[in-house]
Structure 1
């Protein structure tokens, strides 16, 4: 019997989404060469038909090609069935990325996303990374105008510090904060998650399966192509992956007793973090999508949760999330509004 995907309120501003989303990045970008377009359109529509209606993309995936893919998938009446999230803020200039949060860039980026997606309005529009040169009040002020103009419905942030979230929320209510949260990425629990909960902001957990490591363990590295960006991520490098294998082995042992896959266990753990948390695992295979959906019906006992929670203390993960942490929440403070002269 197929798992029924429940609905949830994301944040306190009125947005309702499927309790699990679909991260679409890997279909076009980052994890090797782009996958066949027709196959990915079929996968996206299968997800929607199965109840996964919260779709996540960004203008920098490709760049641009992932939004174009979603635009094609959502033709012929599919648009009305989904909650569509995209992002701005990482500008690709000749293969080098720059972070932008200035008003002129935001407006141009939004118009570009609307066109590529083939929609009149974006349901949830995130600032993908925080521009540390522009006061967050200025960035959110421009997004507030886009809400008033009907071009976006809700505002989100990604990889923002607690103080940045508070400053942003004071200008216009933030509906969701996207952050990396999984059994091997727990640092957001100390300050960012409590801040979101204090303010009634929904939490969207990306990479809940550790970019595949919590699904397949270290052997995933053997299948990386030269185009796969994960090769540069410290946790996947030879000096760290053997240690991090211990985390995967521990998860695998619990999963075997539970009668589920390691990926389902890791995803269920994220689902059990609270009714305000929506994980958005990505996949390019219908079989994996179906297994991810089934993780919604996996119930973990308090003993199992305690055992999984203790992983972070027993086996600390080796390696940072990215080769450079310059674009994560740890470095997302922006100047005061009084410093802005443009």
Structure 2
């Protein structure tokens, strides 16, 4: 069987027109007449999708409408496990090819509706809704000289209203006003080419002294002893040294910095300098608080009214200044100061 296949490929190879490339793949293209699916190069050569995600997207496109494409349903058909299929679906969802949303049916049951788009970038362009052609108008029938009266049922039948030129999704009631045909489409998932926010700058110390620079350079150069993937060039160390100096300036122990930079490294690590730059920027600790910041706040002093001795009855009472108590003041107001003294 292998020999016949190789012979057929060799014969087809000799029939290709023009000179063949000396290296690389050679395509023998036979047009499909049935059972084929059109796949765009934007998906087949997508740089941000894994091979598993691309293959799963092609498999989903080839399935008929209404086929279950949940994680368990796909795992029952494919040789990949549920974890690998779930990761591939998340990749397709992040790049706009797939969307999963929970929808309530008219019966009240909540289901998950999965929508797959074979070309998500086309959704970003303004869409033009094709208008439904008007039904052909039939000429009025020629009336006879003595027309018969119409039947009661035919006379009572109302005229069917014209269908409005509004397209709506099945299961949703049409809106009162339709959006204009030239209204831009707002995507639910940002496209891969959307502008990303600027990255935060690399931390810088308040003053890059020679001692801080020497300690930071030594720490970065010594990282490959603790993680063989972190082999940095002299230029990388020169760029990352101020960020490490900013950590040391904030009284961070060198062992803590080393553990932060070497712990849980991705496999494989393609860009060590970019990973260290990200961790030094995002995980920068705050400065240590001073002794005054850690001191307990002073409690507010409560003013206490002192005791006074009444000049009339010599009883003790609280008042800010010496004088008479309340009883003596009331008596003096009623009988006068002379009778109060007597």
User: TM-score, normalised to structure 2's length?
Assistant: 0.19
User: TM-score, normalised to structure 1's length?
Assistant: 0.19
> Could you say which structure has the higher helix fraction?
1
Higher relative contact order (CA 8 A, sep 6+): 1
> Could you say which structure has the higher strand fraction?
1
